[in-house]
Structure 1
Amino acid sequence: MRRITKNVLLFMFGCICIALYCEFGIYYVVIAQCSWPELLGGSEETTLKAFMLADTHLLGPWRGHWLDKMRREWQMNRAFQTIVHVHRPEIIFLLGDLFDEGEWTNRDQFEDYVTRFRKLFAVPEDIKLYVTVGNHDIGFHNNIRRGSIERFNKAFNTTSVQLVTIKGNHFVLINSMAMEGDYCSLCTDARSRIESISEILQCSENPTKCTSKSKKYIKRNKHNYSRPILLQHFPLFRKSDAVCTEPDAPPLPERNKPFRLKIDALSKDATDYLVSKLKPRAVFGGHTHHGCLLHHNYKLSDSIEFSEYSIPSFSWRNRPDPKYMLVKISPENYAVNKCELPKETTIAFTAIVSLILFSCYLVRRRHIGR
């Protein structure tokens, strides 16, 4: 074989290896650097490993170039599947805005959305996946089109408010748009479900406060009391992100921009209602696309303290450094690790440097051969 042909083939082989690393291997290298947090107390039987993410924003039929859509979906698919393979969570929570144009799609377009989502975020049968709805999935409260809620709930087997109990840990999943506070059917249904869940929690905490309905539920489901974890798309009430000091908080001056209540965050009335009824020990949400950690101390009928975590977007379209969370949870405690995904600049830099170094190797190899 002529030397020039051999060098061309070797160069092509090197390019393939570099591409495989940048499109597959780098996800394993970065994701493997993050591990499950240490949890004090709790046995293996009651400790749950939860993977949380938010704001995937799959592009629809109108926004974005087809190449951009294909690239973002490939990135999120590789990241998601690598996380599942490396960390092996027992449960996955996706906190809203699965789709970017869900509120505008017709039936066929929405079904295509769901099919793509299930393909990109496929999980093994032994891992449970739960989702909460976001404003981009069905629209904000005043812009929800007829049938949007019903088709989303049917596709993802969810409701306006849902109580999920796993290993003695209680999660309350909430449709943030149902917290408007008016008397629409969605808000009325959500309030009714929250009242029922509140009765169950009160009954399990204090048997003297049981109703016949809550007592039957606790007996049927062997429900033991533990303060629940609240999961939804919106943050709880806050005036802006100025209180957020995480490294991935919004940049200035965006951080100081006042929130539009019921659009950027829940209203104070809705927040007070949820906290008083559910007494959460932690709250997780998305929506802002940025990170935030707040410690709350509500002095209502009694003092209720908890932390609220805003999860940054999982999409490279929304931020250059997407994140996700690994959360270990027992009925008595929980621990959180926020994990990074590869930055696009890192991937590009790795590819360019690797290509330059490999080209230099080939040139040096040719001169040495002579």
Structure 2
Amino acid sequence: MDGILDVSWRIQCLLLLVTGISACPCSDPALCDPIQHSRDLETYVFYVKSKNWKHYDWTQVTTVALFGPYDPELMCFAHSKGARFVLKGDVPLKHIVDAKQRANWIAEKVNLAKSQYMDGINLDIEQPVLPDTPEYYALTDLVKETAEAFHREIPGSQVTFDVAWSPSCVDNRCYNYSAIAEFSDFLFVMSYDEQSQIWTECIAAANAPLNKTITGYEQFMNMSIDPKKLVMGVPWYGYDYVCLQLTEDNKCTLEERPFRGAPCSDAVGRQIPYRTIMKQVNGSLTGRLWDDGQKAPFYNYKDTKGALHQVWYDDPQSIALKAAYIKKLGLRGIGMWNGDHLDYSDNPVAQQQSRDMWKALIP
């Protein structure tokens, strides 16, 4: 059957060439064939910009999701390493409530993936949806029909869907999670931004505290979602908060900024990549501190205007604790937002820090 699929795909490529699509950009035309096999442990990488991908740990990478400009060199290289290279799929839900518009959008994405010799699509919707609305049903249909089209048109292709850290209507994303998991190849669980809705005190806290993160996976599995349909997403970034007040026991009070019903939100903070954090932490007021309740590092610093800040982030220690649950819970794998948040410069210290972050993904 695999041989038949290979021939079929090559015929499709020839047809695309006839219609004006550019030829395979790889030195070896076989690298334009879709990846059809899967590995036991998924390591999912979101690519955003530049040539950082050359420094990824390709012994781990299984899928690269394109969230930046298309780079044919990256496609060829990923395929040479046996890794899938997939599109980003995002569309306003009001545009796909109509079945015909939905079909047109899917056909457009399939054709784009074919023309760029890609291996599927990552559906990154992240829009508020309430139960039993037209958007609720249209979203489920979108996942089902997208998966059917990609699997039919591109042999071995992968269709995934990004979900919040918990299925409990986080940020009003009240999706049909069980059905979406069934129709897609797997869910990428964004186990970060877990303070997007702060219902308790308005204080700075970890972006992805361990107990809260693991509770989210238990909730998904309690919906009868197969753990092999869940990939754990971890953050390679942190949040920088300005403290209205900072107590001696490191309690950083935040400005109240309501978000979707909650009195406070991490929106009052500023996202900063891991590479920036590593350049700042050692020269901060406190150096790296560890919160044993949340299993996360943080530090305090003072800016040039004299304002006190608190930064919460994830590092190899906190990520390794989460990764250990992949085997314990039987999850499909791990991934991060995003692969370009590390320092891939020639600095030896930065190189070791980046290697340690990649290594932490291995459960």
Instruction: Place the TM-score, normalised by the shorter chain, in its bin.
Output: 0.3 to 0.5
Which protein has the larger Cα radius of gyration, Structure 1 or Structure 2? 1
Q: Which has the higher helix share?
A: 1
Q: Which has the higher contact order (CA 8 A, sep 6+)?
A: 1
TM-score of the aligned structures, taking structure 1 as reference length? 0.36
